[in-house]
Chain A
Amino acid sequence: MSKLGQAKRIIFLKTADGQLFEVDEPVAMEFEIVKSFFDENEDAADDTVVPLPNVSAEPLAGIIEFCKAHVEFRANGAAGKDEVKKFNAEYIKEKSNEQLKELILAANYLNIKEMLDFLTETIANRLKNKSVEYVRAFFGIENDFTPQEEEAVRKEYEWAFEGVDED
């Protein structure tokens, strides 16, 4: 382990597409899945590589950026303040719907509560008043209803389909 607790411990993470990430321990411990990996393997060597078979490199890089910033905010006592809101708004601004979807899938798998809450709210805001077709495209979802089933749902809630935003 580290000498006198001075050196920072680095956690190694390996993505589904084979990329190796070196992440500072406090940031990696934001991922519940990584934390429990080490909780369950207390004698794991420092250079143990944690495999993340359900996450690819691109979303993981985005997640690390987010968690790193938030760990710092907490350390500086800035949690809940305006600069956090500003960071979050900037962070999400350039993200496409596709990237958002990748991020939430990864954050859900890694089980990162704070980020999951943030992404959940962001996606909810992007789905408000949008058409069914828009949402299917957003998530890349196939319509698995029979035409009759879909018609029945649309008929039951006819009022909910009026005046939605243009796609």
Chain B
Amino acid sequence: MENTSVDVLPVDCLSKIISLTSPRDACRLSAVSRLFNSAADSEVVWDTFLPSDYKDIVCNSASSELLATCSSKKNLYFHLCRNPIILNNGTMSFSLEKESGKKCYMVAARQLVIRWLCREKPQWWKWQSLHESRFDEVVELLMHVWWLDVKGRIETKILSPRTTYAAYFVFKLSKSGNEYERIALQLGVYFEGRDNGKRRVMFLNPSTNASQLCRDRGDGWMEIEMSEFFNVNGDEGTLLFRVFDFHGFCTKHGLIIEGIELRPKNGR
């Protein structure tokens, strides 16, 4: 066709359209034609898909050099999807959910409040480094204890708005931890000051749970979905999460805790 200059939208106009879709749509649209491919790769598009405060987050992380080393916004976006960056002196990690670009955080074991974990009882828990962990240290329950109680918190204002999140307890069982598979843990997630008392009861074993709520993450860890909630604008205050079992019919040990992750429930 001769008159393509009038028949085809300019690339910046196409980029504007693509930036109003989603990261998932943009990746698919890049297969339409060469023009779409370059429009979908543009800085304008990926600047829109990155969280508005991404510069502050990356700048204050242990990987602040990413702002300079990533060759493009798209490159940075996918780096943050694949490689969680470490925040707050190693007590939290941040990443992006690739289909939507929404924020994911994991609160490290270091930042959780774990019962029995005190200076006076060093023989009950052990801090250790595992190559499969994103954090410097994870914690392992060594001794037989009767109770388990793990608590954590996160400010909802740092999460993406208008998003259904779920909280996931991320853990693994060491060789001696098989007893855990028979223990029903109670999992609760609620806004501070508004505990509705709802608890989900789960086993730390995928095969014991009929549902899909417990699964192998494929990164060396297991996870259990604790609960979901809708984050409107982040003005709900503090979100609390808790994993516990006070029944103690069975003694517990061999549980290694990575942390508790918050990520969008459905990518799209």
- Complex CA–CA separation, A135 to B35 (angstroms): 13
B25 within 8 A of A: yes
Query: B28–A144 contact, CB under 8 A?
Result: no
Query: A120–B32 contact, CB under 8 A?
Result: no
B262 within 8 A of A: no
Taking A120-B16, A123-B17, A132-B28 as contacts, is the C-beta distance between A143 and B33 under 8 angstroms? Answer: yes
What residues of A have a CB within 8 angstroms of the CB of B29 in the complex?
A: 127, 132, 135
Say how far A107's CB is from chain B's closest CB, in angstroms.
9
Q: In the complex, which range does the number of interface residues on chain B fall in?
A: 20 to 34
Say how far A11's CB is from chain B's closest CB, in angstroms.
22
| Residue ranges of A at the interface with B (Cβ–Cβ < 8 Å) | 54, 104-105, 108-109, 116, 120-121, 123-125, 127-129, 131-132, 135-136, 139-145, 150, 153-154, 156-157, 159-161, 164
Q: Smallest CB-CB separation from B5: which chain A residue?
A: A54
Say how far B74's CB is from chain A's closest CB, in angstroms.
11
Taking A104-B9, A124-B18 as contacts, is the C-beta distance between A136 and B33 under 8 angstroms? Answer: yes
| Residue ranges of B at the interface with A (Cβ–Cβ < 8 Å) | 6-10, 13, 16-18, 20-22, 24-25, 27-37, 98-99, 268
Known: A145-B31, A159-B98. 17 other contacts (CB 8 A): A108-B9, A120-B17, A124-B17, A124-B18, A127-B29, A132-B32, A135-B29, A139-B9, A141-B33, A141-B35, A144-B34, A156-B27, A157-B27, A159-B24, A160-B25, A160-B27, A160-B99
- Complex CA–CA separation, A45 to B112 (angstroms): 77
What residues of A have a CB within 8 angstroms of the CB of B6 in the complex?
A: 54, 105, 109
Query: A160–B7 contact, CB under 8 A?
Result: no
